[in-house]
């Protein structure tokens, strides 16, 4: 069977000593940042992009993926033990996880969350394996016009599921697209928006933008808010849950896994949405909803499984179609482009070792994380006591050295400073960075496909409506845009994100 052959290839790649090391390194780093409040996965991956520049492509993507799902595990640890969500996706875990810990069930909550996450990660990986080939085959039939419409749909859908004002988010996409145009025009060689700066003729490098917008801006905002840590640390006793707890957690984790996996595939979806939705679902179908918020096992098992399943399945659109569905995936696309790999259906056919190796390593990484998180829990708790005033300057320093190492030029360090300021302005004005990043990553490709489509159709824009695939995608985009204008949908969207902001 072809599928098994592919998986065998993947595991042989992932089990090489080098890739195992990078997977472990990624998982450790991910857990670390998940535990430390104030540095999210987006900021970390942004700041580590320069390092991956010096690694082989497979190893670098394996490491970045490890950081991504490692952060999900680490975030749940702090949610349960100190009531501090390291990540947005583990905010809901705080509600019942911390209460369980206060009732003396900290160990049980931790192991349920870790094992639930592992199970969800396994299912998520299987889903990627099953969907990757059909989706890739479908994507290979796409013409330039279809691709252009697909990207439009991806960008619009990402906005709908994100929080905040829709018009502003769409404007941010266009701003990102414009920034993506800086550099030499591929077709004519003309210099666009380069202001005669030679460093800009290859375009603005992706890594300094991401580091500035997410890394620096996040540090500055944290310094402003003066991060303080409250709440006593809770001692972990036995890691074993009782039979009763297991009986209640298993079905909840199952539901969380499938809901999370489904939501992860959607553009704009991902771990946070998955966790929130599954918590709401559990509360709705529970026989005694009054227990939620007071230490209900279901309230830990379901969202933890959901955020991990979603973290896995959100790789599907990125790996098969080259369309990132959230900021982390946009960074992964950026990392691939830095390595000279154009994300899209060709990755699977032309670089099967990279594609399947990465998928296999996700499962290995998930297994590593259970070990990293459960027996080593004490070390992570200790890390919580490192004050932010030591961390912030250190992170800044690594950012600067990382930016310099991209091309051994201080020009990139200055770029980080500029985009740090821009990122700060975005935060202050309530403009989200994620749509900007998606636009930036997709901009050059989208222009390329658009121009090619128009050339093939001899300048007739109707081509986008005449090709059935493109038409279908555009209709979906239009329906989504119309939906957003409806008041009832607006309200529902607002409600879905209310808890998150609190």
Partner 1 sequence: MNRFLSKDFLSGLMFIGFGLVALYFGQKLALGTPVRMGPGYVPRMLSLTLLGLGVLVCIIAVVSGSEPVERPKWKPITLVTLGIICFGLLFERAGLIPALVVLIMVASLAGEEFKLTEVIGNIVVLSVLCTLVFKVGLGMNIYILRGVW
- Helix axis angle for 468-485 and 487-501, nearest 10°, is 80
Q: Least distance in Å: CB of 413 to partner 1?
A: 4
One residue of 384, 417, 469, 496 binding partner 1 per CB under 8 A:
417
Scanning 29-37, 337-345, 364-372, 420-428 for contacts with partner 1 by CB under 8 A, the matching segment is 420-428
Measured in residues, the chain has a length of 502
* Position 430 contacts partner 1 (CB under 8 A): yes
* Position 469 contacts partner 1 (CB under 8 A): no
Scanning 20-28, 353-361, 368-376, 459-467 for contacts with partner 1 by CB under 8 A, the matching segment is 459-467
How many residues touch partner 1 under the rule CB under 8 A: the total is 60
One residue of 232, 459, 468, 502 binding partner 1 per CB under 8 A:
459
Sign of CA dihedral 148, 150, 155, 157: positive
* Position 486 contacts partner 1 (CB under 8 A): no
Helix, strand, coil shares of the chain, percent, nearest 5, are: 80, 0, 20
Q: What is the phi/psi pair of residue 185, to 5°?
A: -70, 125
One residue of 2, 141, 195, 284 binding partner 1 per CB under 8 A:
195
* Position 18 contacts partner 1 (CB under 8 A): no
Scanning 9-17, 279-287, 316-324, 447-455 for contacts with partner 1 by CB under 8 A, the matching segment is 447-455
Report d(CA 460, CA 470) in Å as an integer: 14
Report d(CA 469, CA 430) in Å as an integer: 35
One residue of 168, 233, 254, 496 binding partner 1 per CB under 8 A:
168
One residue of 300, 319, 392, 441 binding partner 1 per CB under 8 A:
392
Report d(CA 136, CA 347) in Å as an integer: 9
Quickly list H helices, 374-432.
377-383, 388-407, 410-428
One residue of 20, 55, 160, 181 binding partner 1 per CB under 8 A:
181
Beta carbons of 333 and 343 less than 8 angstroms apart: yes
Beta carbons of 22 and 62 less than 8 angstroms apart: yes
H or E element at residue 307: helix 298-313
Sign of CA dihedral 118, 119, 123, 129: positive
Q: Least distance in Å: CB of 416 to partner 1?
A: 6
Scanning 14-22, 198-206, 305-313, 446-454 for contacts with partner 1 by CB under 8 A, the matching segment is 446-454
Q: Least distance in Å: CB of 217 to partner 1?
A: 9
Chain residues 32-91 in contact with partner 1, contact rule CB under 8 A:
54
3-state SS, residue 343: coil
The three-state DSSP-derived secondary structure of 109-124 is HHHHHHHHHHHHHHHH
Report d(CA 310, CA 125) in Å as an integer: 10
* Position 451 contacts partner 1 (CB under 8 A): yes
Report d(CA 322, CA 287) in Å as an integer: 43
One residue of 2, 4, 17, 190 binding partner 1 per CB under 8 A:
190
* Position 416 contacts partner 1 (CB under 8 A): yes
One residue of 177, 210, 331, 364 binding partner 1 per CB under 8 A:
177
Beta carbons of 50 and 94 less than 8 angstroms apart: no
Scanning 256-264, 308-316, 402-410, 480-488 for contacts with partner 1 by CB under 8 A, the matching segment is 402-410
* Position 376 contacts partner 1 (CB under 8 A): no
* Position 158 contacts partner 1 (CB under 8 A): no
Query: In the stretch 92-111, what mask flags binding to partner 1 with x, by CB under 8 A?
Result: --------------------
Q: What is the CA radius of gyration of the chain?
A: 22
Number of Cβ within 10 Å of residue 187's Cβ equals 11
* Position 390 contacts partner 1 (CB under 8 A): yes
Which C-beta is closer to partner 1: that of 21 or that of 238? 21
Q: Return the residue matching tokens 């990392």.
A: 335
One residue of 133, 346, 353, 447 binding partner 1 per CB under 8 A:
447
The three-state DSSP-derived secondary structure of 181-210 is HCEECCCCCCEECCCCCHHHHHCCCHHHHH
Which C-beta is closer to partner 1: that of 371 or that of 394? 394
One residue of 68, 356, 380, 424 binding partner 1 per CB under 8 A:
424
Report d(CA 159, CA 166) in Å as an integer: 7
Which C-beta is closer to partner 1: that of 315 or that of 450? 450
Chain residues 204-243 in contact with partner 1, contact rule CB under 8 A:
216, 219-220, 223-224, 226
One residue of 174, 258, 489, 497 binding partner 1 per CB under 8 A:
174
Candidates 409, 50, 343, 338; CA nearest to 212 is 50
Cα 424–216–430 angle (5° rounding)? 25
Q: Least distance in Å: CB of 142 to partner 1?
A: 20
* Position 4 contacts partner 1 (CB under 8 A): no
Q: Least distance in Å: CB of 221 to partner 1?
A: 8
Number of Cβ within 10 Å of residue 407's Cβ equals 15
Contacts of 196 (CB under 8 A, 6+ apart): none
Binding site for partner 1 (CB under 8 A): 54, 165, 167-168, 170-171, 174-175, 177-178, 181, 185, 187-188, 190, 192-193, 195, 216, 219-220, 223-224, 226, 388-390, 392-394, 396-397, 399-401, 404-405, 408, 410, 413-414, 416-417, 420-421, 424-425, 428-431, 447, 450-451, 454-455, 458-461
């Amino acid at each position: 069977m072809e599928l098994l052959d592919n998986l065998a290839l993947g595991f042989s790649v992932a089990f090489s000593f080098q890739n195992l090391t990078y997977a472990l390194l990624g998982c450790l780093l991910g857990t670390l940042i998940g535990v430390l409040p104030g540095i999210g996965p987006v900021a970390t991956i942004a700041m580590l992009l320069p390092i991956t520049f010096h690694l082989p492509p497979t190893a670098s993507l394996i490491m970045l993926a490890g950081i991504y799902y490692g952060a999900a595990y680490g975030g749940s640890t702090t949610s349960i033990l100190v009531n501090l969500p390291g990540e947005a996706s583990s905010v809901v875990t705080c509600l019942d996880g911390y209460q369980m810990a206060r009732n003396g069930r900290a160990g049980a909550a931790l192991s349920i969350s870790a094992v639930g996450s592992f199970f969800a990660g396994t299912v998520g990986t299987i889903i990627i394996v099953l969907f990757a080939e059909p989706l890739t085959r479908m994507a290979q039939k796409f013409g330039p016009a279809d691709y252009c419409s697909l990207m439009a749909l991806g960008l619009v859908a990402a906005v709908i599921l994100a929080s905040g004002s829709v018009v502003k988010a769409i404007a941010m996409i266009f701003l990102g697209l414009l920034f993506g145009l800086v550099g030499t025009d591929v077709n004519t060689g003309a210099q666009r928006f380069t202001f005669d700066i030679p460093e800009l003729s290859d375009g603005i490098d992706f890594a300094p933008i991401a580091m500035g917008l997410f890394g620096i801006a996040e540090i500055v905002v944290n310094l402003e808010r003066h991060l303080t840590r409250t709440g006593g640390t809770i001692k972990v006793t036995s890691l074993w849950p009782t039979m009763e707890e297991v009986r209640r957690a298993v079905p909840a984790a199952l539901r969380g896994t499938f809901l999370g996996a489904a939501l992860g595939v959607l553009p704009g979806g991902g771990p946070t949405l998955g966790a929130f939705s599954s918590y709401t679902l559990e509360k709705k179908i529970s026989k005694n909803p009054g227990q939620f918020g007071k230490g209900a096992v279901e309230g830990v098992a379901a969202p933890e499984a959901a955020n991990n399943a979603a973290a896995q399945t959100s790789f599907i659109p990125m790996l098969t179609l080259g369309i990132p569905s959230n900021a982390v995936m946009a960074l992964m696309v950026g990392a691939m482009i830095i390595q000279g790999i154009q994300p899209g259906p060709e990755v699977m056919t032309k670089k099967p070792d990279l594609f399947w190796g990465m998928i296999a390593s996700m499962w290995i990484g998930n297994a590593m994380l259970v070990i990293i998180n459960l027996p080593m829990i004490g070390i992570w708790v200790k890390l919580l006591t490192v004050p932010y005033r030591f961390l912030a300057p250190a992170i800044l320093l690594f950012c600067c050295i990382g930016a310099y190492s991209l091309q051994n030029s201080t020009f990139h360090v200055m770029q980080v400073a500029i985009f740090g300021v821009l990122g700060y302005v975005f935060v202050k004005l309530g403009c989200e960075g994620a749509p900007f990043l998606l636009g930036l990553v997709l901009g050059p490709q989208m222009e390329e496909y658009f121009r090619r489509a128009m050339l093939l159709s001899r300048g007739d824009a109707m081509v986008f409506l005449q090709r059935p695939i493109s038409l279908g995608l555009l209709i979906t985009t239009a329906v989504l845009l119309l939906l957003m204008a409806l008041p009832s949908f607006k309200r529902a969207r607002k409600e879905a994100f209310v808890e998150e902001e609190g």
